[in-house]
Amino acid sequence: MLHPNDESAPDKIKDGVKGNEWIVEMRLQFQELNHHIASALADKNFTRAIELDTARQDILKDLCLMDPALIDEGFFTFIEHCARENTSLISQIENDMEDLTTRSGKQMRMQVAYSR
């Protein structure tokens, strides 16, 4: 895994590549993390989703420390797209949880009414 603090990253920048290889690698890692987060959320494995999201946040923090000139606009667009996808997944889970809470409440009220 290439890391912004990796000693080879400055060499790539000096060689005129401007970190493009690093950006491609980071994009692939980000896509993989997003896929795993989506899978964890679909499986309702929230602990794993949180751990993966923490790793993704670490990547974002590292990116914030980099010179913005080294990162192309397409990468930021890609990150924004990923954020929208994850927001959509989280909203769906919140809706599912609200639905479960409503159904659970109705069942409890029915059980209380039945036991009277």
pLDDT digits (tens, 9 = 90+) for 85-101: 878 888 888 888 888 89
Are the C-beta atoms of 89 and 38 separated by less than 8 Å? yes
Closest to 41 in 3D by CA, of 95, 98, 86, 99:
86
What is the model's pLDDT at position 55?
87
Task: Decide which of 67 and 115 is more confident.
Answer: 115
Are the C-beta atoms of 25 and 2 separated by less than 8 Å? yes
pLDDT digits (tens, 9 = 90+) for 3-39: 344 444 344 333 334 457 877 888 888 889 889 988 9
Of the chain, the end-to-end C-alpha distance in Å amounts to: 63
What is the model's pLDDT at position 4?
41
What is the model's pLDDT at position 19?
53
Q: Burial letters for 54-81: b for 16+ Cβ neighbours within 10 Å, e otherwise?
A: eebeebeeebeebeeebbeeebeebbee
What is the model's pLDDT at position 11?
40
What is the model's pLDDT at position 21?
80
pTM given for the model: 0.60
Closest to 49 in 3D by CA, of 59, 60, 37, 57:
37
Parse the chain into domains and list their residue ranges.
8-115
pLDDT digits (tens, 9 = 90+) for 51-88: 888 888 888 888 778 777 777 788 888 888 887 887 88
